[in-house]
């Protein structure tokens, strides 16, 4: 995939200029093309709650779109941090959805960015009992509400 190769070069150059020694692996995951950063300096690249990692991913995608306007979104991860974080988050949300199924009471999730909201919505797209809805508005972080579907 040409876009993944370009993103690999962008990420390698970016991290090289910042002085990081890394190995980058290209992966084709169910979440889309992913660049997995393997390094001894994980904390510096992940940051507090993954904020640095989010910024790196944003920069890689912005630079890639300048070169290739039709490029798919590239996911950037460090030592599988994002994968583990997403798995934990989705497990908690499944537990909350089970409470919605049992009680019928809606649950409002903590604010999250569009990527995480998309994961939540995809989790319930084919669910016969639960629906997910995002707040309206232009904020970057929005809340998702889980509700029981009306029959």
CATH superfamily placement of domain 84-148: R3H-like domain (3.30.1370.50)
At residue 146, the pLDDT reads 96
| Extents of the domains making up the chain | 2-79, 84-148
pLDDT tens for each residue of 42-67: 999 999 988 999 999 999 999 999 99
pLDDT tens for each residue of 6-38: 999 999 999 999 999 999 999 988 778 999 999
Q: Is the dihedral of CA 45, 78, 4, 55 positive or negative?
A: negative
* HEC assignment per residue over 97-117: HHHHHHHCCCEECCCECHHHH
Contacts of 10 (CB under 8 A, 6+ apart): 60, 63, 64
pLDDT higher than threshold 90 for residue 123: yes
DSSP state at residue 49: G
CATH superfamily placement of domain 2-79: K homology (KH) domain (3.30.300.20)
At residue 1, the pLDDT reads 64
pLDDT higher than threshold 80 for residue 116: yes
Q: pTM for the whole thing?
A: 0.76
Confidence of residue 137 (pLDDT cuts 50, 70, 90): confident
Domains 2-79 and 84-148 alike in fold: no
Q: Once rounded to an integer, what is the mean pLDDT over residues 124-144?
A: 90
């Amino acid at each position: 995939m040409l876009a993944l190769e370009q993103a690999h070069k962008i990420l390698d150059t970016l991290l090289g200029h910042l002085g990081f020694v890394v190995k980058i692996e290209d992966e084709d995951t169910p979440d889309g093309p992913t660049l997995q950063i393997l390094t001894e300096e994980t904390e510096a690249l992940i940051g507090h709650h993954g904020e640095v990692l989010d910024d790196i991913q944003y920069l890689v995608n912005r630079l890639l779109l300048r070169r290739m306007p039709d490029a798919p979104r590239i996911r950037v991860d460090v030592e599988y941090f994002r994968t583990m974080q997403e798995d934990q988050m989705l497990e908690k949300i499944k537990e909350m959805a089970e409470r919605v199924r049992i009680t019928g009471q809606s649950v409002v999730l903590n604010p999250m960015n569009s990527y995480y909201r998309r994961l939540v919505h995809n989790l319930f797209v084919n669910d016969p009992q639960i629906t997910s809805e995002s707040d309206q508005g232009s904020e970057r972080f929005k809340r998702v509400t889980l509700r029981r579907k009306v029959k």
